[in-house]
Amino acid sequence: MQSSLYQQFLKVSNSSGRIELWNRCGTLEKFVIDSKYYVAKISKVPDDLQHKHIEQTDFALTRKVRSYQKEQLFYKRYVGMLSQISLAPQVYELHHERGTFVTLLEDFEAIGFHNKTSVQPSEIKQILNWLAGFHAIWLEAAENHSMHDEFGEGNYWHLKTRPDELEKMPSCQLKQQAKKIDEALGAAKFRTLIHGDAKLANFAFKKDAVIGYDFQHVGVGIGLADVMLLFTTVLENDELERYCESLLDYYFQALAEKMNKLNIQIQPSQVETEWRPLWPILWADFHRFLAGWKPDHKKINRFMKTQSNKLRVLL
């Protein structure tokens, strides 16, 4: 890992300022070089990785390593395309050696962006606007480009990458329909690059602007998958029942505006016509993952169950 910035980082690195990533899979560390503020994201799957809800099979470990590869690929080849419509941290250097991935980024807090643990409807709309831009950029390219070969499916819960969780599920209708759910989503004509982990923690705010980051689960998929996951992190059951439809309307309005701004040749109404009926199927797909991963998860609420129950008619 030879580079001027990386070597300078090693000289100023301070263990007391490190923030541990999920399940000891690396650290985040802020540092300053010549009065400029940076963040180093250092990722590596520990040899003794353990998680109370995840069986660490070779398949699961390989999936985790693959997520680091995907994030670096996105920063290397695609993040620059976002600058015209959705903000993301500037990337300075990428390194990979012996299972360790080092990503050197700008410190977005130093330019005024900050995370929030809860948000108002107006701030949810800011994230939806960011997602709409992200999805619009690649709507035309996702199927006729090498994106699928490079990234595969987006998000961390799709069926092909979660055989262990499916096996753990007790016999039920949702388990029996898992393959049909996956096939229904995969058959969509309009697919794009999705963030894949669009939870509140992966966005930061500054006045009327929002920045998105953490692209480990980027890949090809249906834009509403990001919207669904976002809703699970910012809305409780009663709020989902109250605000879901109006926020969906806002997302599709924003998507149409972004598509028009980018001169996308696809008609926004065609995308909405196809994606809206997939909304309960997307919820059922996530429900299937949670039911196998952590069946008592608080996100498995009345709203999610209601969406999943619609499959009796849809599939």
Which CATH number fits the domain that encloses residue 16? 3.30.200.20
My answer on whether 140 and 256 are in the same domain is: yes
Among residues 63, 90, 110, the one where a domain terminates is 110
My answer on whether 160 and 294 are in the same domain is: yes
Q: Using an 8 Å Cβ cutoff, are 262 and 85 in contact?
A: yes
Q: State how far the Cα of 132 lies from the Cα of 125, in Å rounded to an integer.
A: 10
pTM across the whole model: 0.93
My answer on whether 36 and 127 are in the same domain is: no
My answer on whether 104 and 177 are in the same domain is: no
My answer on whether 197 and 263 are in the same domain is: yes
Confidence check: pLDDT of 1 > 50: no
Compute the average pLDDT of residues 257-285.
Answer: 96
Confidence check: pLDDT of 128 > 50: yes
Q: How confident is the model at residue 6 (pLDDT cuts 50, 70, 90)?
A: confident
**Surface-to-core class of residue 71, CB atoms within 10 Å of its CB (0-12 exposed, 13-18 middle, 19+ buried):** buried
The pLDDT mean for the chain works out to 89
The pLDDT value given to residue 62: 84
My answer on whether 302 and 262 are in the same domain is: yes
Q: Please give the residue that has the higher pLDDT: either 72 or 314.
A: 72
CA distances for 267 relative to 129, 252, 253, 272, 273, angstroms: 18, 12, 12, 9, 10
Among residues 80, 110, 140, the one where a domain terminates is 110
Q: Please give the residue that has the higher pLDDT: either 41 or 16.
A: 41
My answer on whether 197 and 62 are in the same domain is: no
Confidence check: pLDDT of 315 > 70: no
My answer on whether 214 and 72 are in the same domain is: no
The pLDDT value given to residue 22: 56
My answer on whether 74 and 196 are in the same domain is: no
Which CATH number fits the domain that encloses residue 306? 3.90.1200
Quick one: CA torsion of 224, 228, 234, 235, rounded to 10 degrees?
Answer: 120
pLDDT digits (tens, 9 = 90+) for 205-236: 998 899 999 999 999 999 999 999 999 999 99
pLDDT digits (tens, 9 = 90+) for 44-83: 877 665 555 556 677 878 888 899 999 999 999 999 999 8
Q: Please give the residue that has the higher pLDDT: either 197 or 61.
A: 197
Q: State how far the Cα of 210 lies from the Cα of 230, in Å rounded to an integer.
A: 14
Per the structure, how many domains does the chain have?
2
My answer on whether 173 and 247 are in the same domain is: yes
pLDDT digits (tens, 9 = 90+) for 90-106: 999 999 988 889 999 99
Nearest to 126 by CA among 86, 175, 88, 153: 86
Q: 192-194 and 26-33: which strand pairing?
A: unpaired
Q: State how far the Cα of 166 lies from the Cα of 303, in Å rounded to an integer.
A: 22
- Helices 121-137 and 237-261, axial angle in degrees (round to 10): 40
Q: State how far the Cα of 309 lies from the Cα of 137, in Å rounded to an integer.
A: 33
- Helices 223-234 and 279-293, axial angle in degrees (round to 10): 60
Confidence check: pLDDT of 2 > 80: no
Compute the average pLDDT of residues 27-31.
Answer: 87
My answer on whether 193 and 287 are in the same domain is: yes
Residue 13: both structure tokens together: 């690195």
Among residues 70, 89, 110, the one where a domain terminates is 110
Compute the average pLDDT of residues 184-190.
Answer: 94
Instruction: List the domain range (segments joined by +) for residue 230.
Output: 115-314
Q: State how far the Cα of 307 lies from the Cα of 192, in Å rounded to an integer.
A: 23
Q: Using an 8 Å Cβ cutoff, are 29 and 42 in contact?
A: yes
My answer on whether 25 and 149 are in the same domain is: no
Nearest to 226 by CA among 203, 209, 208: 203
**Mean pLDDT lowest for which of 37-46, 89-98, 197-206?**
37-46
E strand or H helix that includes residue 37: strand 36-43
The pLDDT value given to residue 125: 98
